Amino acid sequence: MCGITGYYGNKNMGKYLYNSLKRLDYRGYDSAGIATLNNGKINIKKDTGEVEQINQKHNLEKTDGKIGVGHTRWSTHGSTTKQNAHPHLSCDERFAIAHNGIIENWKDLKSQLNGHRYTSETDSEVIAHYIEEKSKEMSVEEAVKKFFKEAKGSLAVVLLDSKEEKMYAFKRGSPLALGIGNDETFLGSDLYAFSTETDKAIFFEDDEYGIIDQTGYVIKNINGEEVEKEPENFDWDQEEAGKEGYEHYMRKEIGEIPQAVERLENSLNSAQEKQVDRFVELIKNHEKILFTASGTSYHASLMGVYFLNKADIEAQTLIASEFKNYERVDEDTLVIAISQSGETKDVLDAMEYSRKEGADIASIINVPYSSVERESDVSLRIMAGQEVCVAATKTFINQIYTLLKIANKLGYQNHLEEIPKRIEKVIEKNEPKIKQLAKELKNKNDIYIIGRGDTYPIAREIALKLKEIPYIHAEGMMGGELKHGTLALIEEDVPVISLIPEKNSEIISNVKEIEARNAKSIKISPWTGPFKFPNSNSKFPFYTIIIGFLLSYWIANEKNLPIDRPRNLSKSITVS
Ligand code: M6R
């Protein structure tokens, strides 16, 4: 899972590729590199680390060329080394490739080729050698088609051919877009790659490939037949404004939540009103409602199940990567996919499976024009703006706000107006205490969080944030489950965070069970414990997760960790 970029034109090549890679590095930041064509020769610059560090070391910005490809990597096959960084070259150095995805049968493909020298442990390098070998007996285009037909798995590939001075781009599974400028052509894993340069793009469908040269571009299907594709004009309001004085994007993005919610509310009532009505109608018209999502978005989907239940609509949710193993869907099913990036492969796979079985698909996404949006019958945008930090914060709030709005339309009475202002107050009133608590928790190895009803998903989400950002093992649980096993781990001083919206005897019994074992009991509640909240039980999940976000942030800050780019992760997971 990685980001790829490509450019054919007269811009300052190094500068363009460098900026494009910086915009794509949320897709992976283990290593990065570029391959450029200058005077008939391919020049490769690549290394481990983030794009900015690599630029400092190798001066990416000062690289000439008329054609160039770039890559930012999240390691799958092969560890994070300079050799495994893309682009990869063929032995004769005629071809350079950048690949996003996984080629499942790379070993079989490799075994067809004799006498090639491999310099990496990746599945991707085989592409360059395969095209080199096959193009000895057929045209490069035929070799690309042959590879495309034989390769199994997911791929978005950009291939630079130094001899014919062309780029080839092909896609199956992983996303790929082509941007159209004035006498210049862009390629990218998504619109972020080139949205500073053009607002005209074409999205490749599976099993399509493109040939880009000085005359422009042509798109064909896997059989070599030309495909007419109308360029789309996209409205892009996703420009990232920088850290604006904050040390980290995560803290800045938590602070942006109130505005993001207001923007969403306006959009749901105006520009997206029709889609909201359609979404609601689809829910009413289907017998079975199934959510699917991954990570934080899955926790949002749990809230969706809870809210729909309150509107008297039965729904279920399942983690996208296990969806097809546990769920049966048919034409009476509405699948609701939730994804911030709209590119999560597990979610796209669950959607594909559901589509084949005849289900209708609705979705809730943040990134406009993403694959999930384009593959849905109806899609709502959560209008959170670009989220740079890998940890989802403002997008989680806007996901659950959208779900609450839908449940409202279906009969769950709930006032939403005061949410943005109250979130602002929750941050303002509680941050000093959170910083203090962060100091107390920074050396803990395990933290448990318990909730019931609508705070159960929040407990799960706080646990995910504690793992992801300050690297603390955490478990978010249903309060009632504690006594069925986990209580064995609760001993003196083990931190347990309880989410207690009201004087609810069930969760209070769970707190008593914890305190009887001398655990370090931390209560998040409007009526007890150190934090201050507006007195609104039904909106408590919105306020309590803010405490969880800030707590994870401040513990990680205490530990001096790379908050916006946690180890081993990436913002968009485009492999299954
Ligand atoms: O883009 P998506 O919402 O589909 O991403 C799903 C997860 O990968 C994502 O929520 C992940 O868990 C976040 N990094 C959590 O903060």
Residues linked to residue 73 through DSSP beta bridges, in sequence order: 2, 31
Contact between 398 and 261 under an 8 Å Cβ cutoff? The reply is yes
Which phi and psi (to 5°) does residue 201 adopt? Answer: -145, 160
CA distance 42 to 429: 57
Q: Supply the pLDDT for residue 383.
A: 95
Q: Supply the pLDDT for residue 240.
A: 61
Rounded to whole angstroms, what are the CA distances from 491 to 325, 448, 498, 506, 518? 37, 12, 16, 21, 6
Q: Which atom of ligand 1 is nearest to the CA of 295?
A: 12
Neighbouring C-alpha atoms within 13 Å toward the C-beta of 525 = 20
Residues linked to residue 160 through DSSP beta bridges, in sequence order: 96, 167
Q: Supply the pLDDT for residue 151.
A: 97
How does pLDDT run across 140-193, given as a tens digit for each residue?
999 999 999 999 998 999 999 999 999 999 999 889 999 999 999 999 999 989
Question: Is residue 28's pLDDT more than 90?
Answer: no
Q: Which residue's CA lies nearest to atom 9 of ligand 1?
A: 295
- SS3 for 253? helix
How is residue 172 annotated by DSSP? E
Nearest to 291 by CA among 400, 371, 381, 387: 400
- SS3 for 507? helix
Q: Supply the pLDDT for residue 169.
A: 98
The fraction of the chain above a pLDDT of 90, given in percent, is 89
Q: Which atom of ligand 1 is nearest to the CA of 390?
A: 14
Residues contacting residue 432 through CB under 8 Å, at least 6 positions apart: none
Query: Ligand 1: distance of its center to the CA of 182 in Å?
Result: 36
- Could you tell me the two tokens for 467? 């793992």
How does pLDDT run across 178-237, given as a tens digit for each residue?
999 999 999 999 998 999 999 999 999 999 999 999 999 999 999 999 999 999 998 766
Q: Supply the pLDDT for residue 340.
A: 97
Nearest to 552 by CA among 426, 401, 385, 437: 437
Question: Is residue 469's pLDDT more than 90?
Answer: yes
Q: Supply the pLDDT for residue 236.
A: 66
Rounded to whole angstroms, what are the CA distances from 524 to 80, 260, 288, 338, 537? 40, 24, 35, 27, 12
Protein residues whose CB sits closer than 6 Å to any atom of ligand 1: 294-297, 339-341, 344, 347, 390-392, 464, 468, 572-573
Which residue of 26, 291, 292, 296 sits with most ligand 1 atoms within 8 Å of its CB, as the best mutation to test the pocket? 296
Kindly list the structural domains of the chain, giving each domain's residue range(s) and its CATH number in brackets, ordered by start: 3-233 (3.60.20.10), 257-416 (3.40.50.10490), 418-576 (3.40.50.10490)
Q: Which residue's CA lies nearest to atom 12 of ligand 1?
A: 295
Tell me which amino acid residue 515 is: E
Average pLDDT, integer, range 240-250: 87
Specify the residue for token string 């609701």: 336
Which residue of 254, 294, 348, 365 sits with most ligand 1 atoms within 8 Å of its CB, as the best mutation to test the pocket? 294
Q: Supply the pLDDT for residue 75.
A: 80
Which phi and psi (to 5°) does residue 561 adopt? Answer: -95, 160
Query: Ligand 1: distance of its center to the CA of 372 in Å?
Result: 14
Query: According to the 3-state scheme, what is the secondary structure of 335-403?
Result: EEEEECCCCCHHHHHHHHHHHHCCCEEEEEECCCCCHHHHCCCEEEECCCCCCCCCCCCHHHHHHHHHH
Catalytic residue numbers?
Answer: 2, 571
Residues contacting residue 477 through CB under 8 Å, at least 6 positions apart: 448, 449, 450, 451, 456, 459, 486
Q: Which residue's CA lies nearest to atom 7 of ligand 1?
A: 295
Contact between 265 and 400 under an 8 Å Cβ cutoff? The reply is no
